[in-house]
Chain A
Amino acid sequence: MSLSTVEATASQVPEEPAVKGIEGRTPLQLVVARLRTDRVAIASIVVIVLIVVLAIAAPLIAGITGHNAYNANVDNGTDANGQPFPPGTSGYLLGTDNLGRDILVRIAYGARISLVVGVLATAIATVIGVVVGLIAGYFGGWVDNILARIMDVVLSFPYVLFAIVLVSVFGSSLPLTILVIAFFSFAAIGRIVRGQALSQREKEYVEAANSLGAGNIRVMFVDILPNLIAPVIVLATLLIPTAIVFESTLSFLGLGVVPPTPSWGNMLSDAEGVGFQAWWFYIFPMLFLLMTTLAFNLLGDAVRDALDPRAERIFAARRKTKAT
């Protein structure tokens, strides 16, 4: 059969064949299917969704309770002696702080900060890390030497000191916080991507792409990158809680989000010195911080298991042997 006649017959075939052939499940579908059987993953997703809902609903909560997250509210939010309300007092579900502000409303607004910082900083770090790691790993040689050393330096940097210097120069702000976190996180992804790219570039499919005349950028992003998606997704999921904790640390030290904007970090900082009397100052922000980071970490582990089913899953294996 000559190619021209085949082309002619092929063009007569309707675009959508009447009987659909067996469609292979994409890697993504397989991962989702595996995640759905993982109870820990489901639980973490539920927690994360709840916190996202809380963050989105922050103005709604403020509206319903009529409490403001920013302004001091000493007249209504404290008792006759100027002491803050404990949880459950006169409409303040989680109590008030020393300025009479509703802790629930502040936590809800703080969730916005945490999630925005966590997701944005991770996104920026992932993009930079993937690009730098791919370039270093794919080109090798002196390019790799320079980029890999830069990443080593970033990873060994005393980041809190660096943040203090930056804040004293530029003044603290949310965008600066995000950039600082992204800058100190990208190297973690970059190193992994570099290592993977180093091994992938020796694969024969890269040679095949070269023999077709593909350019360097095409080989890096069209051929190699799809093979690195699994470790990048896992790492990015695990970077989100790190970024959230990083933001809280910076805010706790007064280097991150500027008061009166609430963030879980500076709420903890406000709780300094209150001791056991006003325990609700620190317990609730801490609980939310813990739950969020724990959920993201567990989700990251679950995603790793789902992406690499060959890796040993200790708990899953034990569950299975019990069941049989």
Chain B
Amino acid sequence: MPDPARDSDVLLRADGIVKHFPIKEGIFFKHQVGSVKAVDGVSLEVRRGETLGLVGETGCGKSTLARCILRLFPLTSGRLTFDGADLSRLSRSQMRPYRRGMQMIFQDPYGSLNPRRRVGSIIGDPLAIHHIAQGAERRKQVQALMEVVGLNPEHYNRFPAEFSGGQRQRIGVARALALRPKLIVCDEPVSALDVSIQAQVINLLEDLQGEFGLTYVFIAHDLAVVQHVSDRVAVMYLGKMVEVAEVKDLYNTPRHPYTNALLSASVVADPDKARSRDRIILSGDVPSPINPPSGCRFRTRCPKAQALCATEEPMLKSGAGDSPSHVTACHFPVADGEKLASEKDTILHAVEGFLAEAPT
């Protein structure tokens, strides 16, 4: 049960968010033949002023979850509370007043800006939609926003095509900032940018957080970036949350085998360290979200999977000795210092098998 005393601290609460996309067949009379279970029962809390990192590999439902949080489409089921208001069943027009409090920064700085509209009108769009400022007043506010995000206000009349990728992402940031939202969902805001530009945009986002008291949900697949910006990190796999923890807990003592595998795959700047490190290679591909595995969804690729994993779905719970904020959905969490089957082990195994079978 949520603790009401701490509730004022929580800006956004998601309870069992489910989003299934129907798959339809038939030319004239369409009937549903299945569904893509993009997000399948995710619960999370975002506290005021924090940055919640959301990681997971491609196709695990991160972006769908972000769009669920912003109610860009109706939820299949689940409850979404933002700043005390229940948003889970509101219609498009009922949602409009709440959109002032929550904004989004998109992954693709090219696709997310309308190529036929001038930058001034793109950034001024939220002001126009919510009838905040008109005419010269709007222009003044837009130019102030452009200056805040580090754009030249004189470029007000330019088209998005005349800007570089990093500048375009700044336009997207300015647009998200225009309504002074409480929450900004950043959907891989830097993954389309050059590394040098990534740092600029991330620093900009951090500066803005301090200045405007923003709360971020920061989606990324780059673990180093997430580690740098986040206060807490949530790991997703195939539409489910597998581990949520404070950033230092997650990176130092990852409990879920999937988190371990993810962390072992991230790039380390020190080549000596990188060479000595064991990478955990997961076998197989991500199962299809149309027909996910029973029980624990990770069991098909998990080096620790046992019979229980196929029958019972693990719940998010805090392990013994971990801080209560560190929760893992695993029947057999990885203990401190435990080593999972790594790349070297797998190769050794294969060589041993080969030698055993070889005629002497």
Contact = CB atoms under 8 A, between A and B. Distances in A.
A201 to B, nearest CB: 12
Contact of B211 (A2, A204, A212): A2
A27 interface: yes
Contact of A213 (B106, B129, B154): B129
A17 B136 CA distance: 15
A1 interface: yes
Given A21-B154, A212-B175, A3 B148 contact: yes
Interface centre among A209, A210, A212, A214 (most CB of B within 10 A): A212
B152 interface: yes
A204 B108 CA distance: 8
A1 B148 contact: yes
A211 interface: yes
A226 B116 contact: yes
Interface stretch (B157-165, B194-202, B233-241, B284-292): B157-165
Q: Which among A15, A213, A216 has the highest number of chain B CB atoms within 10 Å?
A: A213
Contacts of B125: 209, 212, 214
Contacts of B159: 24, 26-27
A215 B114 contact: no
B99 A213 contact: yes
Interface stretch (A6-14, A116-124, A311-319): A6-14
Identify the interface centre among A204, A214, A218, A222: most chain B CB within 10 Å of its CB.
Answer: A204
A301 interface: no
Contacts, number: 97
A208 B100 contact: no
B154 A17 contact: yes
B117 interface: yes
A203 interface: yes
B191 interface: no
B141 interface: yes
Given A2-B211, A208-B175, A213 B100 contact: yes
Interface of A (DSSP majority class): helix
A210 B157 contact: no
Contacts of A229: 116
Main secondary structure of the interface of B (DSSP, over half): helix
Nearest to A203: B111
A208 B96 CA distance: 13
Interface in A42-98: none
A6 B174 CA distance: 14
A30 to B, nearest CB: 11
A27 B116 contact: yes
Given A211-B70, A211-B99, A211-B104, A7 B144 contact: yes
Contacts of A214: 125, 129
B147 interface: yes
A211 B103 contact: yes
Given A212-B129, A214-B125, A10 B147 contact: yes
A232 to B, nearest CB: 13
A207 B126 CA distance: 13
B113 interface: yes
Nearest to B207: A1
Contact of A211 (B72, B108, B211): B72
Nearest to B99: A213
B252 interface: no
Interface string B106-128: 11100111111100000001100
B95 interface: yes
Contacts of B248: none
A261 interface: no
B116 A6 contact: no
Contacts of B129: 212-215, 218
Contacts of B130: 213
A164 B159 CA distance: 50
A287 B322 CA distance: 90
Given A6-B148, A7-B140, A208-B104, A24 B114 contact: no
17 contacts: A3-B144, A3-B145, A3-B148, A6-B147, A7-B144, A10-B143, A17-B154, A21-B154, A24-B159, A205-B115, A208-B104, A208-B106, A208-B114, A212-B103, A212-B179, A213-B130, A229-B116
Interface of A: 1-3, 6-7, 10-11, 13, 15, 17, 21, 23-24, 26-27, 203-205, 207-216, 218, 222-223, 226-227, 229
Given A13-B143, A209-B114, A213-B126, 11 more contacts: A6-B144, A13-B153, A17-B154, A26-B159, A208-B172, A210-B72, A212-B126, A212-B179, A214-B129, A223-B114, A227-B116
